[in-house]
A and B are shown apart, each in its own frame.
Chain A
Amino acid sequence: MLKNYFKIALRNIYRHKGYSFINIAGLAIGMVCSILIMLWVIDEWNYDRFHANEAYLYRIVTEAHYTDETSHFAYTPAMLASALKEEMPEIKDACRLAMLRQRLMKHGQNSYYENGLGAADPSFFDMFTFPFIRGSPESAFPELHSIVITEALAIKYFGDKNPIGRHMQLDDLNLKVTGVIENIPQNSHIQFDALLPFELLISLGAPTHWGGHSYRTYVLLEPGASHHQINQTLPAWTEAHTPEPVIYYLQSLTDIHLHYDGAITYIYIFSVIAAFILIIACINFMNLSTARSATRAPEVGLRKVIGAGRTDLIRQFFGESMLLTIIAFIMAIILSELMLPAFNTLTGKQFSLSISNNIITLSGLVLIVLLTGIISGSYPAFFLSSFRPVRILRGTWKSGSAGLWFRRILVVVQFSLSIILIVGTIVVHNQIKYANNKSLGFNKEHLISIPIRGDLQQKYLSFKSELLQNRAIAGVTAGSGMPGGPIDGEWGQLDWEGKDPNLVTYMYHYSIDHNYIKTFGMKIIQGRDFSADISSDTLNFILNEAAVLATGLESPVGKRFTLLYRTGTIIGVAKDFHTFSMHHDIGPVILRMMPPENWRYIFVRLKPGFSNINSAVQFIENTWNRFLPEFPFEYSFLDENFSESYSNELRMGKILNYGTMMGVLIACLGIFGLVSYAAEQRTKEIGIRKVLGASVLHIVAMLTREIIMLGLIANLVAWPLAWYAMNRWLEDFAYRINLGWAPFVIAALLSVAVALMTVSYQSVKSALSDPVKTLRYE
């Protein structure tokens, strides 16, 4: 009997090649999208889970209490780790990790600027699982001037030679390579290319007081210890150890990427997108199978008459749909494999479809496949097998109406999902555009930042005047940081006229050259800008609007202000500008001219409209090389830096784009199949109407009417859902667009237009068909 079913299933698939193809293709595309997105989701979910001690590892987070607000950051003082380890029995081990600023690394002829330098305690290698290729965790830091490097770094500087025992220079430090570890997996929040001993960092003068929150602290708990309990004792413990207004608490390792970094939001969003696409594909499959199985009603009735029981029929239809589903699955695996390189480029990761890595994915997918096959197969079987055969044979059974409502509902669901995807795409696109174009409070175009190296600080003035001789250069300035880049902050050493002594507040500050504000295009709205001619300006301050608000001063200009032991006068107020990305509120910022040894960057503004940017950059490089021949020239454009902070949104926008296209494509396939089917069912009726005089337009309208109606209903269903979802997403942005009507109207028009196009081919074809071929003759 099984053979019989299998034969019929195959012959049916072959006989209705068109529908079978649509069915299989739709399902395969849906599965491909799901597979790829699932790969990404699982990778994100698995962040940091490769450590053997994963379940016992925690990071310390600082909760800092200011008068008005509380903020959290993962930086802690150097003394915290050992204090916790010694005093808390539940804490088995602890270590510190610091990421260093960019330094020049040299070995022999190879010298490069390295960004991935860190420093850690030796216990780091015991706690975390970073396998050694050469050397071992025990012998990681035998002496102070050691360095452990990754495989990639080893190859970069040593080729295929053994680096152990050899020396590398880091600025003016001479270090011996004492270990080589495997490259760090991409799904690890801890990323570095080389590690120095933490003690070395301290010996170089890194701050170790309890107020210096500059390092990461990790702890390893004893088995059975509860981090909740520890967190409950920590507030009291902290108060006993430090006068700072802080509380420390433990954060589990896996929480870091998911919650602290917020990856969980995107995991949800992408999972939802994948689910949508797959649901659309499954609905297609069910719809088309159901519709087509109605054609087989005569066969069903006949089989019942011949002797089939209900179970026999259920098994038969179930088997057929499983066969189609399995074929689709095979196609999906092949397609996924082919699309992997493109997907890797899109996500910036390296995925592969090897089974050993993805047992969870594949078993999940197999489950979906089974479910789809079962649902789409059993519905027609269930429905048809309940009919009295006599009605089918007699012809009183209206084949087209079987499951009609079910199919209509499915089409509406499909349409709605597509519409939600379309609205999402439009809104995300708009928000990103807005974020990119919104007035930042300064002019980020054509602004280059150049990190200061060597003794350039001393030579700054002559460097600056050399640059200004070039016609393409509009201005040169310098500072400790830039919007979107590094910035310093302080809470303790702040004072101003009339400040409440109990008030604790946190403010950011830049040390800048006198023409920084001008060069950056920021606006002064009260008082005046710094001036090189007024020597007392080196002690004065300019506050931004948010800082003024934080001080509570009504007319700040002229009032006394103190930052980090220097007292001066507030000479002006600057209009707010975005120090961070759109995700964050504008913080209170203090600007001051001294001290220049804090400057980290030189900024060059190019004249707008100057077409040859490359030659301008080349000129700057040439000038640099004359001043600092031993340091390679580096630069970046500020507007590019800013865009990078939206990389997540950009990526999501792209994935949403493709996802929506896929979803809509599949939905179209489905509608096409259904309309083709409907047209086929009504062939006889169309023939009769044509003979009786119906025009082509009449017939087309007749066939398309229903789809358009369903499309409009779907819009009504989808709009509130899309509205709610988009509002929630936009809440994450401190600065966001207004939702407005436009995306919804566009989605409605688009969906109906696409449905019409899909439907028109088949309906026009039917309307033009020859009645001779369609009328039934005995």
Chain B
Amino acid sequence: MIKLKGISKWYKTGFSNTYVLRRINIDVEEGEFITIMGPSGAGKSTLLHIIGMLDTASEGEYYFLDSEVHKLNEKKRSAIYKENLGFVFQSYHLIDELTVYENLETPLLYKKVKSGKRKSMVCDILDRFQIVGKKDLFPGQLSGGQQQLVGVARAIISTPRLLLADEPTGNLHSEQGKEIMDIFKKLNGEGTTIIQVTHSEVNASYSRRIIKLFDGWIKD
């Protein structure tokens, strides 16, 4: 599904370059559940962003489902992205002015899903995550854990083929964290490919493959 060949990423700092990723080669098959780990500053989030097409590599090739992503312009990339990817962030990233219902609905609106279908999809997911009672609340009225749940729900509402998660439980208690990871496991069982970045060994144990990054290199 995903092929990264020789991916590197650097920033210009003063006169020299700071390398964040160095010649990364990764193959991911559809249906895998992968964890990327490594000390802070190792480039985990950057790698995830590149896979998620939110960022471009400075060098290298990125194939997603046979498309040469590194050669596509922004419009085409965001089209692929919209179709296939869901992203879960470390800090919730919900739209504060919208209710839970409206937040969940937003990706569907951008995909031009029809009103009736939208309704049923949102209700489905509210049900599944057991947050039906909260659908008219604003993010400010929810606890941290609940916001994160909504963030996850929003990421998966259009059943993406690939789910990317950046420290999804970083700000949660262990119990809420477990809830999220269980959902991930279930999704993966249903066929969703999942790549997550995390510090937590516990979270990593849910996945079936661990990629270790160190200083921008893949550590074997």
A–B contact at 8 Å CB threshold (below): yes
Which of B102-110, B127-135, B183-191, B202-210 is found at the contact surface with chain A? B102-110
B 115-139 contacts with A by CB, 8 A: none
B 31-79 contacts with A by CB, 8 A: 45, 49, 54-55, 75, 78
Contact mask A297-319 → B, CB, 8 Å, 1/0? 01100111111110010000000
Picked from B75, B95, B154, the residue with its CB within 8 Å of the CB of A299 is B95
A304 lies within 8 A of B102 (CB): no
Complex alpha-carbon distance, A328 and B106, angstroms = 30
Known contacts A4-B109, A393-B54, A12 near B97 by CB under 8 Å: yes
Complex alpha-carbon distance, A393 and B111, angstroms = 22
A11 within 8 A of B: yes
For the complex formed, measure the closest distance between the CB of B173 and the CB atoms of chain A, giving whole angstroms. Answer: 13
B 140-184 contacts with A by CB, 8 A: 154, 171
A204 within 8 A of B: no
A390 within 8 A of B: yes
A308 lies within 8 A of B110 (CB): yes
Complex alpha-carbon distance, A394 and B11, angstroms = 14
For the complex formed, measure the closest distance between the CB of A751 and the CB atoms of chain B, giving whole angstroms. Answer: 37
The chain B residue with its CB closest to the CB of A305 is B87
The chain B residue with its CB closest to the CB of A312 is B110
Complex alpha-carbon distance, A397 and B154, angstroms = 24
Known contacts A11-B97, A12-B97, A306-B154, A390 near B109 by CB under 8 Å: no
Known contacts A306-B154, A307-B82, A390 near B54 by CB under 8 Å: yes
Complex alpha-carbon distance, A26 and B97, angstroms = 25
A298 lies within 8 A of B93 (CB): yes
Picked from A4, A302, A390, the residue with its CB within 8 Å of the CB of B102 is A4
- Which range contains the number of A residues in contact with the other chain? 20 to 34
Chain A residues, Cβ within 8 Å of B75 = 309
The chain B residue with its CB closest to the CB of A1 is B109
For the complex formed, measure the closest distance between the CB of B159 and the CB atoms of chain A, giving whole angstroms. Answer: 14
A 363-392 contacts with B by CB, 8 A: 388-390
A8 within 8 A of B: yes
Chain A residues, Cβ within 8 Å of B49 = 390, 394
The chain B residue with its CB closest to the CB of A4 is B109
A306 lies within 8 A of B102 (CB): no
A69 within 8 A of B: no
B107 lies within 8 A of A307 (CB): yes
B98 within 8 A of A: yes
Complex alpha-carbon distance, A4 and B93, angstroms = 18
The chain A residue with its CB closest to the CB of B90 is A393
A778 within 8 A of B: yes
For the complex formed, measure the closest distance between the CB of B48 and the CB atoms of chain A, giving whole angstroms. Answer: 10
A773 within 8 A of B: no
B89 within 8 A of A: yes
Complex alpha-carbon distance, A390 and B164, angstroms = 14
Known contacts A12-B97, A306-B154, A388 near B55 by CB under 8 Å: yes
Main secondary structure of the interface of A (DSSP, over half): helix
Picked from A299, A303, A307, A778, the residue with its CB within 8 Å of the CB of B111 is A307
Complex alpha-carbon distance, A494 and B141, angstroms = 97
A626 within 8 A of B: no
Complex alpha-carbon distance, A12 and B98, angstroms = 10
A471 within 8 A of B: no
A309 lies within 8 A of B95 (CB): no
Known contacts A302-B95, A307-B82, A778-B171, A390 near B110 by CB under 8 Å: no
Complex alpha-carbon distance, A305 and B109, angstroms = 13
Complex alpha-carbon distance, A302 and B55, angstroms = 14
Chain A residues, Cβ within 8 Å of B93 = 298, 302, 305, 393
For the complex formed, measure the closest distance between the CB of B77 and the CB atoms of chain A, giving whole angstroms. Answer: 11
Known contacts A12-B97, A312-B110, A393-B89, A304 near B78 by CB under 8 Å: yes
Complex alpha-carbon distance, A8 and B98, angstroms = 7
A309 lies within 8 A of B110 (CB): yes
Contact mask B78-98 → A, CB, 8 Å, 1/0? 100110000101000111111
A728 within 8 A of B: no
Known contacts A304-B78, A307-B82, A388-B55, A8 near B97 by CB under 8 Å: yes
Chain A residues, Cβ within 8 Å of B110 = 303, 306-309, 312
For the complex formed, measure the closest distance between the CB of B75 and the CB atoms of chain A, giving whole angstroms. Answer: 8
Known contacts A312-B110, A393-B89, A303 near B55 by CB under 8 Å: no
Picked from B81, B97, B105, B171, the residue with its CB within 8 Å of the CB of A15 is B97
Chain A residues, Cβ within 8 Å of B96 = 299
Complex alpha-carbon distance, A388 and B50, angstroms = 12
Chain A residues, Cβ within 8 Å of B111 = 307
The chain B residue with its CB closest to the CB of A302 is B93
Complex alpha-carbon distance, A390 and B89, angstroms = 11
B106 lies within 8 A of A303 (CB): yes
The chain A residue with its CB closest to the CB of B109 is A1
Picked from B54, B87, B89, B105, the residue with its CB within 8 Å of the CB of A388 is B54
Contact mask A693-709 → B, CB, 8 Å, 1/0? 00000000000000000
Complex alpha-carbon distance, A4 and B107, angstroms = 12
Complex alpha-carbon distance, A305 and B110, angstroms = 11
B45 lies within 8 A of A394 (CB): yes
The chain B residue with its CB closest to the CB of A14 is B97
Complex alpha-carbon distance, A388 and B45, angstroms = 15
Starting from the known contacts A15-B97, A302-B94, A306-B154, 4 additional A-B residue pairs (CB-CB under 8 Å) come to A4-B102, A8-B95, A303-B110, A778-B171
On A, residues with C-beta under 8 Å from B are: 1, 4, 7-8, 11-12, 15, 298-299, 302-309, 312, 388-390, 393-394, 778
A-B interface, 3 closest residue pairs, ranked by CB to CB distance from nearest: A307-B110, A390-B54, A390-B55
Q: List 29 A-B contacts (CB under 8 A).
A: A1-B109, A4-B102, A4-B105, A8-B97, A15-B97, A299-B95, A299-B96, A302-B93, A302-B94, A303-B95, A304-B78, A305-B54, A305-B87, A306-B106, A306-B107, A306-B110, A307-B78, A307-B81, A307-B82, A307-B107, A308-B110, A309-B78, A309-B110, A312-B110, A389-B54, A390-B54, A390-B55, A393-B54, A778-B171
